[in-house]
Amino acid sequence: MKFKDLHTKYIGTNILHYPVLTSTNDKCKEIYKDVPSGTIIISDIQTNGRGKQSRHWYSPSGGIYLSIIIKPEKNLSKDLNKLPLVTAVALCQTLKSLEINTYIKWPNDIIFENKKLAGILCESKFKGSNLEYIIVGIGININSVLNNSDLTNIFTSLKKEFNKDFDKNYIISILLNNFEKYFTYMIDGKFHKCLKLYKLYCLILNKQVKLIKENSKEIVKVLDINENGSLKVLDSSNLIKDVFSSDVSLRGLIGYI
């Protein structure tokens, strides 16, 4: 069996694997009506992998590109801002079980040795006030070779760091086990347990960061991560405010992190 270490109740009970797709998130949008909640779409490569803020996600062979389709039974609209954090914790816990210590750049960039190893793109669709679907797209640079220097300034892969190949199906299985665990915490109102772990992995707590909002930039100090997934920051006028990831992107004072 391909995913023999998968021990979930519903996440990944239906796994659809493709050699190539434009984007696993896009495939989910095409087929969500016809598949059960918890279905996973995996592709070996993506020709139009998408990142946050409409950026491109470079998706050569060797990486993990997967999306989870959730068709919520409960109204999860108030939980949507927590989902990127839940997924980031599931990813860090998975890599930690392989003795790979990663960190999170809020809300959900996974960082290893100051470079981006994995990214998460959560998308959802409402029909009226009903949440039709949530799609959690995850890209991890596993055995990918990244040779363009523009890319390697910011991104890294496990192969590049450890000079060996990793078992992608094993990593996917552990990731889905962890995702189901932390997602269940969230829907059962126990997000605080996940947030506690998130804070341990979070790179920016008590640091100064640059918030980029359309045309403006602002330097703030990060005070905390709120229960709803937003950032609590102290701005340059000494005012405390909450910032949501849908409104800003975040940079370090000097570089990307």
Binding residues vs ligand BTN (CB under 6 A): 23-25, 46, 49-52, 55, 57, 65-67, 109, 119-121, 137-139
**Of 70 and 138, which CB lies nearer to ligand BTN in the complex structure?**
138
- CA 120 – CA 64 distance, rounded (Å): 12
Nearest-angstrom CA–CA distance, 172 and 65 = 10
If the CB atoms of residues 137 and 229 are measured against ligand BTN, the closer one turns out to be 137
Cβ proximity to ligand BTN: between 45 and 100 the closer is 45
Instruction: Tell the smallest beta-carbon distance from residue 57 to ligand BTN (Å).
Output: 4
66 versus 233: smaller Cβ distance to ligand BTN: 66
Burial 76-92 (b: 16+ CB within 10 A, else e): beebbbbbbbbbbbbbb
| CA gap 40, 141 in Å, rounded | 18
In the complex, least distance from residue 238 CB atom to ligand BTN, rounded to whole angstroms: 32
50: DSSP letter: B
Residue at shortest CB range from ligand BTN: 119
Alpha carbon distance 129, 252 (integer Å): 37
What is the side-by-side strand order in the sheet with 216-225? 240-243, 231-234, 216-225, 208-213, 249-251
Min dist CB 232 to ligand BTN, Å, is 23
Smallest distance from the beta carbon of 144 to ligand BTN, in angstroms? 11
Task: Please say which residue, 24 or 230, places its beta carbon nearer to ligand BTN.
Answer: 24
Contact 175, 15 (CB under 8 A): no
Nearer to ligand BTN, 62 or 139 (CB): 139
Nearest distance in Å: CB 218, ligand BTN: 21
CB of 153 to ligand BTN, least distance (A): 15
Q: In this complex, which beta carbon is closest to ligand BTN, that of residue 234 or of residue 257? A: 257
Shortest Å distance, C-beta 32 to ligand BTN:
14
For tokens 């990307």, the residue is 256
219 in Cβ contact with 208 (< 8 Å): yes
Task: Answer for the pair 117, 141: CB distance below 8 angstroms, yes or no.
Answer: yes
Q: Cα dist. 30→4, 27, 33, 101, 160 in Å?
A: 28, 5, 8, 36, 34
